[in-house]
C-alpha cells in the first residue's frame, strides 16, 4: 500500500496515475526560491484512472476530468510534494462524499406560537409609530 495514495478508508489510487510537476516557487525562501524548483503541482486525470466508473462520474461532475492541487508553502520540495498529495487526496475525498438527503420537518407548535407573538409585537410597535393627534 506504500505505492498508493489513500483517499478514504477502502479507497486509494496508485502514485503512477498522479503527474507531479515542479516549478519555481513564489513563496517562502527568499533568494533560495529563485534557484530551486520547490513548488509542486499534483495533477490527476480522472478518466484515465483505475477508479470505478461511479467514482469517476462523481469526481468529474464536481471537479472536472483533471484535478490539480499545488503547494509552495515551504522551501523543501519534498515537503511541498507531501502537501500537494495531501491536498489532492482531500479534494478527491470531498468530491466522493454523498450528502444525506434532507428530511423535511414541521415547525413545532411552540415555535409557531413564538413566531406569531413576535409578529404581533412588531406590528404593534409599528402601529404606535404613527402621527400624534394634536387634539389628544
Contact 88, 69 (CB under 8 A): yes
pTM, two decimals, is: 0.69
| HSE-CB for 120 with a 13 A CA cutoff | 6
Q: Cell numbers at residue 40, please?
A: 509542486
3-state SS assignment for residue 37 = coil
- Candidates 42, 46, 29, 38; CA nearest to 84 is 42
Q: Cell numbers at residue 3, please?
A: 505505492
In order of their start, the domains of the chain are 4-96 (3.30.160.20)
- Please report the pLDDT score of residue 1 as a whole number: 46
Q: What is the mean pLDDT, run by run of 10 residues, along the chain of 136 residues?
A: 83 92 72 71 91 91 92 89 94 91 95 97 91 76
Residues forming beta bridges with residue 4, ordered by sequence position = 14
d(CA 63, CA 61): 6
CA distances from 75 to 27, 35, 54, 85, 110 (A): 8, 11, 38, 16, 59
Amino acid at each position: 500500500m506504500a505505492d498508493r495514495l489513500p483517499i478514504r478508508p477502502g479507497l486509494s489510487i496508485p502514485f503512477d496515475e498522479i503527474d507531479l510537476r515542479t516549478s519555481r516557487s513564489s513563496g517562502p525562501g527568499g533568494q533560495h526560491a529563485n534557484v530551486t524548483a520547490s513548488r509542486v503541482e499534483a495533477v490527476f486525470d480522472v478518466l484515465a484512472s483505475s477508479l470505478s466508473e461511479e467514482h469517476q462520474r462523481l469526481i468529474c461532475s464536481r471537479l472536472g476530468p483533471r484535478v490539480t492541487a499545488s503547494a509552495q508553502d515551504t522551501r523543501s520540495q519534498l515537503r511541498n510534494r507531501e502537501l500537494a498529495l495531501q491536498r489532492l487526496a482531500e479534494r478527491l475525498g470531498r468530491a466522493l462524499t454523498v450528502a444525506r438527503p434532507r428530511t423535511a420537518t414541521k415547525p413545532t407548535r411552540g415555535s409557531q406560537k413564538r413566531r406569531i407573538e413576535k409578529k404581533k409585537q412588531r406590528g404593534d410597535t409599528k402601529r404606535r409609530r404613527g402621527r400624534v393627534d394634536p387634539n389628544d
